Structure 1
Amino acid sequence: MAGDRRNTPIILASSSPRRIELLRSLGLEFQVVESGIQEESSPSVPICDLVKQNAFLKAREVAKRFETGLVIGADTVVRQERRIFGKPRDIEDARRMLHELVGKTHQVHSGVAVVRIADALEKTACAVTDVTFRPLSDEQIERYLQMIDPLDKAGAYAIQGPGGIIVEKICGCYYNVVGLPLTVLDGLLSHFGVSLL
């Protein structure tokens, strides 16, 4: 039987509003600490390995600042064919990303890491979800960009809110596209005797 999550300090190594909102929606008590780690991006590394490594580096960096508890790290990227999309540099980059994604199917890869501070034991996993965008005109893309802040989102979009207008279908975990696959996280936490339920 999994332990009582209230007895284990949880630290989220991310200031992502979407990840924070997801964990809060579960009634989880946790502390938010930004890692300050710059995500790696290497075309020669398999994407799941890359996002798991980035998630682990974030969790490990934050774990150094505490004496006990579990640290959750996460990293999400979008892949369309051979191209990898992280967060856009500016609005023009966001516009370019959306033009490349519309009318096509892409994959969202999220790496999740959990580090137990006491002994530095780590567990990592990756989730992949296929997302299909409906075809959009240039004008529709511009209107969408005015509705959201695309600069803090992998692929320049969010599936929730106005994103529901541009996403035609998904195959896989919805919460992975939001930025934190909850079933994957729950599986990792179970290794440490903690359950999200």
Structure 2
Amino acid sequence: MYTQSLPIILASKSPRRQELLALMDLDFKVVLKEVDESYPEGLSPAEIAVYIAEKKANAFIDERENSIVITADTIVAYENEILGKPENAEHALEMLTKLSGSRHEVYTGVSLLYAEQVLSFYDITEVYFKTLTQEQIKYYIENYNPYDKAGAYGVQDWIGMVAVERIEGSYTNVMGLPTEKLYSALSAI
């Protein structure tokens, strides 16, 4: 059982990450800072996710003394193409059409900033989508909010219930936070 000895700051506006931490029975507060999420060319998907998570953590360098700051970044990779958050409905349609009937990977990089250290790790989950019709994809875009999600979908939404045939790896990683690895990392601090 993890015994929380320091206050936890979750540096994420993601309601899914907030929900997952609450389900882990962690006491935390949300603190947000704007961070440029660009990254250098040539990085692998795992490296990108960790790089951005660490950039987010470094924005909290002054808060590290008396707390643990948790930052994360989730990306979707389809055939070596990074699918970030869609810019508009057309972009979401393009992304979800690519994912339809295929396999893709979800990477989440996580950084824990505390004391004099930054502990970073990532998780990868393979997600298999069944083939969706254009009408189904448009229904999802019109009735759900794909714009704040990497790959234009939330596995916990309607599309996850009807389109995800199977996953290999952590389900919570696809939601944006690999809770199993996070719990182990917090326990090791």
Contact in 1 for aligned 2:39/2:51 (Cα 8 Å): no
Contact in 2 for aligned 1:77/1:110 (Cα 8 Å): yes
The 1-side partners of 2:39 and 2:109 are apart by 13
Contact in 2 for aligned 1:47/1:109 (Cα 8 Å): yes
* Residue equivalent to 1:195: none
Secondary structure of residue in 2 paired with 1:160: coil
Secondary structure of residue in 2 paired with 1:64: helix
Q: How does 1:2-41 map to 2 (within 5 A)?
A: 4-5=3-4, 7-41=5-39
* Residue from 153, 158, 162 that aligns with 1:157: 153
The 2-side partners of 1:131 and 1:148 are apart by 20
* Residue from 163, 182, 185 that aligns with 1:185: 182
Contact in 2 for aligned 1:115/1:122 (Cα 8 Å): yes
The 1-side partners of 2:73 and 2:19 are apart by 16
Distance 1:109 1:29, change over 3 A: same
User: Which residues of structure 1 form unaligned runs of 5+?
Assistant: 193-197
How far 1:166 sits from its partner (Å)?
A: 1.4
The 2-side partners of 1:184 and 1:20 are apart by 16
How far 1:165 sits from its partner (Å)?
A: 1.1
The 1-side partners of 2:186 and 2:124 are apart by 19
The 1-side partners of 2:40 and 2:58 are apart by 20
The 1-side partners of 2:2 and 2:110 are apart by 20
How far 1:23 sits from its partner (Å)?
A: 0.6
Contact in 1 for aligned 2:2/2:183 (Cα 8 Å): no
How far 1:3 sits from its partner (Å)?
A: 6.2
Q: Tell me the TM-score normalised to structure 2 length.
A: 0.94
How far 1:96 sits from its partner (Å)?
A: 0.6
* Residue equivalent to 1:168: 165
Identity, % of aligned pairs?
A: 39
The 2-side partners of 1:179 and 1:35 are apart by 18
Amino acid at match of 1:142: K
Contact in 1 for aligned 2:102/2:129 (Cα 8 Å): yes
User: Do structure 1's residue 143 and structure 2's residue 139 form an aligned pair?
Assistant: yes
Secondary structure of residue in 2 paired with 1:110: strand
Amino acid at match of 2:112: V
The 2-side partners of 1:63 and 1:91 are apart by 36
* Residue equivalent to 2:126: 130
How far 1:54 sits from its partner (Å)?
A: 0.8
Contact in 2 for aligned 1:124/1:188 (Cα 8 Å): no
Contact in 2 for aligned 1:33/1:62 (Cα 8 Å): no
Distance 1:96 1:152, change over 3 A: same
Give the root-mean-square deviation of aligned CA atoms.
1.5
* Residue from 53, 59, 62 that aligns with 2:60: 62
The 1-side partners of 2:143 and 2:29 are apart by 30
The 2-side partners of 1:131 and 1:3 are apart by 30
